[in-house]
């Protein structure tokens, strides 16, 4: 069945299709993942064609957009992964962990109540960079397994080479808990997680 699906996909998509593709160079932090079927879309037309074919064959698919960091929690993806090669590739060696926090009266009150000094930049832009919160919470030099926080920006994590998805999830959970306990603010991940 597997070879028949691949053969049918190949007939329609022609080039850019592979089987049991290693995804390390396409996903954040170089975690080891493979995809049963992998297609490099070179433009919007080829992307739409791949989606249409997957739907026609009843094959689940995932879009990998290089502009949007993604983490998979399973080592093998039994589906068609459509990689948007025509989009700008971001640096996958590091991962921005959390989104900026929009400053509303409640959040501002929580920060001030908990002795957090808002920078002029945060006040002017009406948001708080998570790096400010993580630094103020004294969370530098934190790591889990092979996932290490950057010394220059605590909102960025690197994979030393031995890190895995579980290390990342545990580290992110710990950081979120610390900020929530100290400031009453919930951080939100800046990347997508597929499980």
Query: Mean pLDDT throughout 4-29?
Result: 88
Taking residue 76's Cβ as centre, other Cβ atoms within 10 Å add up to 13
Q: What is the 3-state secondary structure (H, E, C) of 47-87?
A: HHHHHHHHHHHCCCEEEECCCCCEEECCCEEEEEEEEECCC
pLDDT, tens digit, for every residue of 45-57? 999 999 999 999 9
C-alpha–C-alpha distance, residues 75 and 23, integer Å: 10
pTM above 0.95?
Answer: no
Q: Where are the domains of the chain?
A: 2-84, 94-187
pLDDT at 188: 92
Q: Which residues of 79-112 are buried (b: 16+ CB within 10 A; e: fewer)?
A: bbbbbbbeeeeeebebbbbbebbebeeebbeebe
CATH class of 94-187: alpha beta
Mean pLDDT of the chain: 86
pLDDT, tens digit, for every residue of 22-42? 998 888 777 888 999 999 999
Looking at the chain, the whole-number percentage of residues with pLDDT higher than 90 is 43
The two tokens of residue 91 are 């640096």
pLDDT at 92: 63
Burial tier of 143 (Cβ tally within 10 Å: 0-12, 13-18, 19+): middle
pLDDT, tens digit, for every residue of 80-137? 999 999 886 666 678 889 988 887 788 777 777 776 776 777 767 788 889 988 998 8
Q: 2-84 adopts what CATH topology?
A: 3.30.43
Burial tier of 43 (Cβ tally within 10 Å: 0-12, 13-18, 19+): exposed
- How large is the angle between the packed helices 2-13 and 44-57, nearest 10 degrees? 150
C-alpha–C-alpha distance, residues 41 and 86, integer Å: 7
C-alpha–C-alpha distance, residues 164 and 173, integer Å: 15
pLDDT above 80: residue 76: yes
pLDDT, tens digit, for every residue of 136-169? 889 999 999 989 999 999 999 988 888 888 899 9
Q: How big is the chain, counted in residues?
A: 195
Q: Do the beta carbons of residue 151 and residue 140 sit within 8 Å?
A: yes
């Amino acid at each position: 069945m597997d070879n028949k699906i691949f053969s049918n996909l190949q007939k329609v998509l022609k080039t850019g299709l592979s089987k049991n593709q290693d995804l390390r160079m396409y996903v954040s932090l170089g975690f080891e993942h493979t995809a049963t079927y992998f297609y490099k879309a070179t433009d919007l037309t080829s992307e739409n064609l791949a989606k249409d074919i997957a739907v026609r064959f009843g094959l689940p698919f995932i879009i990998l957009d290089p502009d949007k960091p993604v983490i998979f929690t399973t080592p093998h993806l039994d589906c068609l992964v459509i990689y948007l090669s025509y989009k700008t590739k971001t640096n996958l060696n590091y991962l921005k962990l959390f989104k900026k926090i929009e400053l509303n009266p409640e959040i501002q009150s929580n920060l001030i109540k908990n002795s957090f000094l808002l920078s002029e930049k945060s006040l002017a832009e009406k948001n708080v960079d998570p790096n400010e919160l993580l630094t103020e919470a004294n969370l530098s030099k934190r790591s889990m397994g092979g996932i290490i926080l950057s010394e220059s920006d605590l909102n960025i994590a690197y994979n030393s080479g031995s890190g895995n998805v579980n290390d990342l999830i545990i580290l992110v959970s710990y950081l979120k808990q610390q900020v929530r306990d100290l400031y009453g603010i919930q951080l939100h991940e800046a990347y997508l997680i597929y499980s």
